[in-house]
Amino acid sequence: MNRAAKIVTIVSLLAALILGFVAGHYSGSLTGGPTSIETRLVTVTERVETTHTEKWTTTVLQVIHKAEPETVVKYAEHFSITRLGGYTLVRDGVNRTILLVPENSSIPNIHADLVVRTPVKRAVLMSATHIALIERLREYSPELLNNVAGIMWGEAYGWFFPDVEKMLGEGRIKDVGAAWSPDYERLLEIKPDLVMIYTFPGDPVVSKLEELGIPYVVNNEYLETSLLGRFEWIKFVAAFFNLDDVADRIFQYVEMSNNLTVSKVQAFIGSGQSRPLKVVWFSVYRGTAYVSAGDSYVAKALKELGAVYVFSDLSGTGSASVSLEELVSRAADADVIVVSTDLIKSKDELIQEIPQLELSKAFKEGRVFRFDDDIYQLGYYDTEGWLKDVAAILWPDVFGDRELEYFVPLR
């Protein structure tokens, strides 16, 4: 076994030991109804068909969490959570303060823009990413979906969460229309305790909700500039359902899993048997290429995984537009190309859009990938799996046994 392989093996063994420690082990009888969601915290790596409310064995992690912990926001920049005795003060995505008060407690004399009784029992959610976090919380609280009364774009999405699709079909969750133009009459009929929205330039929704007196909070996870910052919004969502401790456990696992993935890559690179890889990450629409900007979570994830992102010099935290000529020029000697859409299904379709890419190094070596259809929902739900996929794309010698879940090689 060469030095690089030994280092990677050691890191892998440490990863298994630490993740086993963090996640704990399942024991005891099961209660609650089945769901169709993948379990990660109980079994760590095994896929199962159903999850149930857990009865924990006595582990170090359980002892740590017996006393309700103070939620600490470590990576996210666009929300905060502060514990005030038996109450919680949340700053949402547009800097509004929301006071969360347990349903049987008196409302304290604390200034806030909105007071919300918890747990919220009738929530309306604007985005599939909001649903993804609800589904991740369901690994510990399977009945949580019963607290969702409506979803914007509910029937327009192709759902990768079977229980969501089923409840929409049965009318137990209502479709309340488009995100930028909801069906306000239906919203009023639902009588939500809370509407969770995201904001965007020219957003007309906030003013209308305020006019109608419908309580809302802003979840702008998409503005975060790091992968863990985006996923940390699970703590924000959980706070409204009294699931802070659950969110902390899940986030702790995802954080450690991501750190171990990065450590595994860095150990391999540090062995001196590889050079940095050049990566292009883009989508194309009507003759314009859209690339992840240099301060985006994608660019930062690629850097952590030892890649040289060819558009790292472009300022911004979201996407930036470049000409096809510039894209082709920078992609010519790239080792890997990722097409950040699921609309382009084959190499031929990509060549029709940008014929010159056929001459690129990545094209010739067969290292061109696209998004799989489920990435927008499951890739966020399974943030640690998303990072492992990217690591496997970049470093197949290290992660060659991983079957990609959210990316597909272009054929």
Q: Give the model confidence (pLDDT) of 338-369 as tens digits.
A: 999 999 999 999 999 999 999 999 999 999 99
Q: Distance of CA 198 to CAs 155, 158, 222, 246, Å?
A: 19, 20, 9, 23
Q: Which phi and psi (to 5°) does residue 101 adopt?
A: -125, 125
Amino acid at 38: E
Worst-scoring range by mean pLDDT, 35-49, 222-236, 283-297? 35-49
Task: List Cβ neighbours of 287 (8 Å cut-off, separation of 6 or more).
Answer: 324
For the domain 69-243, what is the CATH code? Answer: 3.40.50.1980
- The answer, yes or no, to whether residue 41 has pLDDT greater than 50, is no
Strand-pair partners of 258: none
With DSSP H G I counted as helix, E B as strand and the rest as coil, what are the percentages for the chain, rounded to 5?
40, 20, 40
Cα separation, 5 vs 325, whole angstroms? 40
CB distance 63 to 212 below 8 Å: no
Q: Give the pair of three-digit tokens for residue 141.
A: 């609280």
CA 43 to chain centre: 20
0.95 exceeded by pTM: no
Distance CA 107, CA 111 (A): 11
* Residue 296 pLDDT greater than 70, yes or no: yes
Query: How many whole angstroms separate alpha carbon 107 and alpha carbon 121?
Result: 18
Indicate if the pLDDT at residue 17 is higher than 50.
no
Tell me what pLDDT residue 276 has: 85
Short-list 91, 93, 89, CA closest to 101: 89
Instruction: Count the alpha carbons within 13 Å of 35 in the hemisphere toward its beta carbon.
Output: 27
C-alpha distance from residue 324 to each of 26, 287, 352 (Å): 52, 7, 13
Q: Does 69-243 match 274-409 in CATH topology? A: yes
In the structure, what pLDDT confidence band is assigned to residue 201 with cuts at 50, 70 and 90? confident
**Rounded to 5 degrees, what angle do the CA atoms 120, 121, 122 make?**
100
Q: Residue 65: pLDDT above 60?
A: no
Q: Distance (Å, rounded) from C-alpha 96 to C-alpha 247?
A: 22
Pick the range with the lowest mean pLDDT from 25-34, 114-123, 212-221: 25-34
Residue 271 banded pLDDT, cuts 50, 70, 90: confident
What local confidence, expressed as pLDDT, does residue 210 receive?
96
Give 104-116 pLDDT, tens digit per residue.
Answer: 999 999 999 999 9
CA-closest candidate to residue 292, choices 328, 338, 335: 338
- Give the 3-state secondary structure of residue 383: helix
Q: How many CB atoms lie within 10 A of CB 403?
A: 6
State the Cα–Cα distance between residues 8 and 399, nearest whole angstrom. Answer: 10
Is residue 38's pLDDT more than 50? no
The stretch 230-248 carries a mean pLDDT of: 98
pLDDT at 125 over 70: yes
Q: How confident is the model at residue 153 (pLDDT cuts 50, 70, 90)?
A: confident
Q: Beta-strand (E) ranges in 183-335?
A: 194-197, 216-218, 277-285, 288-292, 307-309, 319-323
Please, which residues have CB within 8 angstroms of residue 17's CB and are 6 or more apart in sequence? Answer: none
**Per-residue model confidence (pLDDT) at position 12:** 54
Q: What is the pLDDT of residues 298-338, one digit of tens each?
A: 999 999 999 999 999 999 999 999 999 999 999 999 999 99
Q: What number of CA atoms fall less than 13 Å from residue 408's CA on the CB side?
A: 15
H or E stretch at 99: strand 97-102
pLDDT(219) > 70: yes
- The number of helices, as runs of H, and strands, as runs of E, in the chain is 16, 16
Report pLDDT digits (tens) over 156-189.
Answer: 889 999 999 999 999 999 999 999 999 999 999 9
- Locus of tokens 């990545």: 362
Return d(Cα 397, Cα 399) in angstroms, integer: 6
What homologous superfamily is domain 274-409 in, according to CATH? Nitrogenase molybdenum iron protein domain (3.40.50.1980)
Query: How much is the pLDDT for 60?
Result: 29
Q: Which two tokens stand for residue 313?
A: 């010099």
**Which residue shows structure tokens 């229309």?**
177
Q: Where are the domains of the chain?
A: 69-243, 274-409
pLDDT of 39 > 90? The answer is: no
CB-based contacts of 212, cutoff 8 Å, min separation 6: 184, 187, 188
Q: What's the confidence (pLDDT) of residue 1?
A: 52
pLDDT score of 53 more than 80: no
Residue 297: closest CA among 236, 235, 233, 221 = 221
